[in-house]
Amino acid sequence: MKFSKPRILALSLLAAAVAAAALVPAELLAAQSKKVKKAAKAVVAKKAPGIDYTGEFVNFGQWKEVQQFLDDMVSKHGFERKELDAMLQQVRYVDAAVQLVKPAPPGKPKNWHAYSSRFIEPIRINAGVAFWNQHRDTLARAESQYGVPAEVIVGILGVETIYGRDTGRFRVMDVLTTLAFAYPLAPNREARMAFFRSELEATLLYARSTGSDPFALLGSYAGAVGLPQFMPGNIAKYAVDFDGDGKVDLRNSPGDAIGSVAAFLVGHGWQREQAGPLVYTARVSPSRAWEAYVNQGLEAKYRREDLSTAGVVTTSSLPEGMLYGLVDLQNGSDPTEYWVGTPNFYAITQYNRSYFYAMSVVELGRAVSLSRKEL
């Protein structure tokens, strides 16, 4: 089926999203430098190119795959078919979402320093200090109840939305429908479409259970919602009413966001009893026997003796009785950084399946904590 796409600068979309959320590069310990502050002001002053959040109407109801999805919603969950058909008439195709989920061009090297500089910067650090100070009691209660340090929760909320400053302006129904049935060509296209269909299903169930309008739910270009950017399926599984007002509101309640992040991490393997750092700096030997431990999944599954025998040396001693994993952070043409990750570090990777993401959470949380102590 042919249809026209909105007039957008597709290649500029990703840059626009990064410019809006990432801001200015800076090393963690250079946060207070005049040069960084001056650069931050310059970036903030720039206006990002427009993004088409509304999209255009496409008659998804004529698509065979959509018809099958609606049939499943009726048979599995008892939805009224007429209501679903009417709802589908409101859905719009959002080409911006399609462009933004496209993978990076092949051959472009990963660069940890470039990635992390988008998050470990003055705007997020200062906002994190203010957020922590304002919600210190709630963060302390979450740490006590779930065993997740405030530093980690603050790191996640800072990386995700700068503490609620940018929770997304796309209608979740639009982007999830678009990605569930019109995902761009990619090696994992079928798996990704299946994922977004499950999230669309979760959105409809969530709206029905809460008596809310599914089209009132706003989020990111991938359908993530609120301060913690939960996908709809995770709202049902892990979101909690942590402020005690009788409802879960991840978009407007920092308390619910704080408790829900902690609950998510516990549900993905966070260990309360784990003491010490989340990651340990490491060196690797020229023998390269350690290469067998790289890219072995987002899971801590090796004994410290295994890593040591393979030539991985940490700058401080690893606690006994725990499993670990070898984390490689590529830096483009510069040397790769190596770290040894704990089970709790790998719990963070379940929030976003990336070493870069998890390390940014760790570093931002640490930077915010240090800044609070300096005040």
Give 149-184 as a DSSP string: -HHHHHHHHHHHHTTTT----EEHHHHHHHHHHSPP
User: What is residue 50's predicted lDDT score, i.e. its pLDDT?
Assistant: 80
Q: Tell me the one-letter amino acid at 335.
A: P
Say which of 121, 143, 160, 199 is annotated catalytic. 160
* Alpha-carbon distances of 102 from 13, 136, 186, 194, 250, rounded to whole Å: 11, 39, 8, 16, 27
- Could you confirm whether 160 is annotated as catalytic? yes
Inter-CA distances, 186 with 10, 101, 105, 157, 191, Å: 17, 10, 12, 30, 10
Architecture of domain 120-166+231-272+357-375: Orthogonal Bundle (1.10)
Cα–Cα nearest to 270, from 370, 142, 161: 142
pLDDT at 275: 85
- Per-residue confidence (pLDDT) for residue 42, from 0 to 100: 40
pLDDT of residue 49: 57
Q: Which long-range contacts (CB under 8 A, 24 or more apart) does 77-82 make?
A: 77/201, 77/204, 77/205, 79/204, 79/208
Number of Cβ within 10 Å of residue 156's Cβ equals 28
Half-sphere exposure of 31 (CA within 13 A, CB side): 25
Task: Give me the residue spans of the domains in the chain.
Answer: 120-166+231-272+357-375, 279-341
β partners of residue 57: 92
Assigned token pair, 204: 């409809």
pLDDT in tens, the chain (375 residues): 434 443 333 323 333 333 333 333 333 334 334 433 443 444 333 444 589 999 999 999 999 999 999 999 999 999 999 999 999 999 999 999 999 999 888 778 899 999 999 999 999 999 999 999 999 999 999 999 999 999 999 999 999 999 999 999 999 999 999 999 999 999 999 999 999 999 999 999 999 999 999 999 999 999 999 999 999 999 999 999 999 999 999 999 999 999 999 999 999 999 999 988 999 999 999 999 999 999 999 999 999 999 999 999 999 999 999 999 999 999 999 999 999 999 999 999 999 999 999 999 999 999 999 999 987
pLDDT score, position 129: 98
Q: pLDDT value at position 340?
A: 98
CA distance 298 to 116: 19
Nearest one of 158, 116, 118, 105 to 330, comparing CA atoms: 116
